[in-house]
Structure 1
């Protein structure tokens, strides 16, 4: 497999904090670097749940130095695709020597239309090209795959592609096979997130939630084969939707177990 496997802040979402629930020992970027070394890997992706633009200059420099000294590659991520925010993250990517920026388009009270999205990306193409940075737009659940295709076709740049998440588009009523068939040719970054679907006890509906990699319904070999055939996707990131326990500490412990199980499983394919 030509893709490089890594972990992200969304591998440890509960440890970092969800909806104001924060552990007494919050997970930081340095913990992530320690974890990736423990797993014998060398790639981390920082998502919007640990916003890099809120770091002080010294903290950002320390992170860059520690990663470089440990030969760990960084990818950066953000939410809210505005011209200003995208420019901000290009500068952060340069500071961290990151060649990929993953963006979720929407944020609270901000859901731009397709023409605005396309214009924002087109306007920044010279900077992406100049600095050899790739922008990966994540398939989140407001837009359909046809709309992501339209964005990619309009921009039409080797420096812009899709960050394909294996579960998000279910929120838009689209299954994984449909998503992969449409978006695999554009995919520059992959989020491997295993999942389960079960009928609720009252039989009036289904529930979708996370599983450790290899324990759910995600056909990982099929996914990797279909993404890798196009040769654009260089990195694959483990993300997790860990089903919470009654206590945050127990949930964080479970998240760590799932991370280890998932990495052990995924290493069979990388």
Structure 2
């Protein structure tokens, strides 16, 4: 039976509005131009089913705030997924221990806790899959996840390990296999593998069968005399085969949700101009997801 997919938004899509994460900014974070509650209202207006949120969006992780967010999402009929990191380099608001992240997810009413492993790789990045320095870090993650299994079982939260920008798909699969628990799977990001010079389609095909969650992104690769760089664009405007990747996730993944994410690059634009372009790309991506990919139909 062909399953009907839901559509959710990763809040990093609007990072220039102060949501998601201040990636690459160690100093003063960007001011919030939109609150989480305002974003929830936008999600309803756009016909979205849920949000993939971070500690940056929560502003506080105390009981009162978590209950407030849970209630607001419930009133609007939105599911929540909680995104956290083990050792976020630029924005410490995203960092939680695995057990704390699980507890926060439960109190939010989220059913998924997604973690970035934040592996610090030796150079060169390419060809370093399963490097000894990486394996030591992966073993630490293994120990922490194993210690959290009783809490996962108690709460029913699914833990999704992401192929973040510094992690190979095979390393995520190694962890999932060694942990060997039904509540521990993957979060497949459709572009992150390029950060370690890994083919994104191959990474999606490897991880999709284990993926409780996803970051559905499109990137465009530009080439000049100095080399190549990739930057985030609206879905369908880049070099990722979004139709193929979507069909792979829909067919192989246990999830019925697509979480789209735009890693908009402001380039040389003033912040206010870039913000509006980011918002336009968000709305364009929703249209692409509905009309081209057929999500929700």
1:151 aligns to what? 175
- Change in 2 beyond 3 A, CA 1:48/1:199: farther
**Structure 1, unaligned runs of 5 or more:** none
- Change in 2 beyond 3 A, CA 1:108/1:48: farther
- Give me the whole-angstrom Cα distance separating, in 2, the residues matched to 1:158 and 1:235: 18
**Structure 2, unaligned runs of 5 or more:** 89-94, 122-133
2:126 aligns to what? none
- Give me the whole-angstrom Cα distance separating, in 2, the residues matched to 1:173 and 1:226: 21
1:114 aligns to what? 138
Pair 1:77-2:83 in alignment = yes
- Give me the whole-angstrom Cα distance separating, in 2, the residues matched to 1:162 and 1:36: 25
CA shift, 1:48, in A, is: 4.8
Equivalent positions of 1:88-237 (< 5 A) are 88-106=100-118, 113-200=137-224, 203-237=225-259
CA shift, 1:102, in A, is: 0.7
Q: SS at 2:72's partner residue? A: helix
Equivalent positions of 1:26-41 (< 5 A) are 26-41=33-48
Contact between 1:187 and 1:232, CA under 8 Å: does it hold in 2?
A: yes
- Give me the whole-angstrom Cα distance separating, in 2, the residues matched to 1:260 and 1:196: 18
Pair 1:45-2:47 in alignment = no
- Give me the whole-angstrom Cα distance separating, in 1, the residues matched to 2:117 and 2:232: 23
Contact between 1:139 and 1:165, CA under 8 Å: does it hold in 2?
A: yes
Pair 1:255-2:255 in alignment = no
- Change in 2 beyond 3 A, CA 1:187/1:81: farther
2:128 aligns to what? none
- Give me the whole-angstrom Cα distance separating, in 1, the residues matched to 2:40 and 2:86: 26
Q: Structure 1 stretch 152-161 or stretch 258-267: which is displaced more?
A: 152-161
Taking structure 1 as the reference length, what is the TM-score of the superposition? 0.90
CA shift, 1:21, in A, is: 5.2
Q: 1:248-269: CA deviations, max 9, x gaps?
A: 1111111110000000110132
1:13 aligns to what? 15
1:22 aligns to what? 30
CA shift, 1:53, in A, is: 7.6
Q: CA RMSD in A?
A: 2.4
- Give me the whole-angstrom Cα distance separating, in 2, the residues matched to 1:70 and 1:100: 19
How many residues align structurally?
A: 265
